[in-house]
Amino acid sequence: MSFTWGELENLAPKDKWRLPLPPTCAKCEYDLTGLPEERCPECGTPFHWEEVRKRTKRIWNLSLRLRHANQDARLGIIIGLIGWFAIGFVRLLGWDGLSPLVSIFAFGGGVISIILGSQVLNIRRMPKWARPYVGHPPPSMLLGAGSMLLGFSQMIGALIL
- Residues at the interface with Zn ion (CB under 5 A): 25, 27-28, 30, 40, 42-43, 45
Identity of the residue, 43 or 156, whose beta carbon is nearer to Zn ion in the bound complex: 43
Cis peptide before 137 (omega within 30 of 0): yes
Nearest-angstrom CA–CA distance, 16 and 8: 12
Least Å distance, CB 153 to Zn ion, is: 46
Identity of the residue, 27 or 68, whose beta carbon is nearer to Zn ion in the bound complex: 27
Least Å distance, CB 40 to Zn ion, is: 3
Identity of the residue, 30 or 105, whose beta carbon is nearer to Zn ion in the bound complex: 30
Q: Do 34 and 14 form a contact (C-beta atoms < 8 A)?
A: no
Least Å distance, CB 54 to Zn ion, is: 17
Identity of the residue, 30 or 49, whose beta carbon is nearer to Zn ion in the bound complex: 30
Least Å distance, CB 27 to Zn ion, is: 5
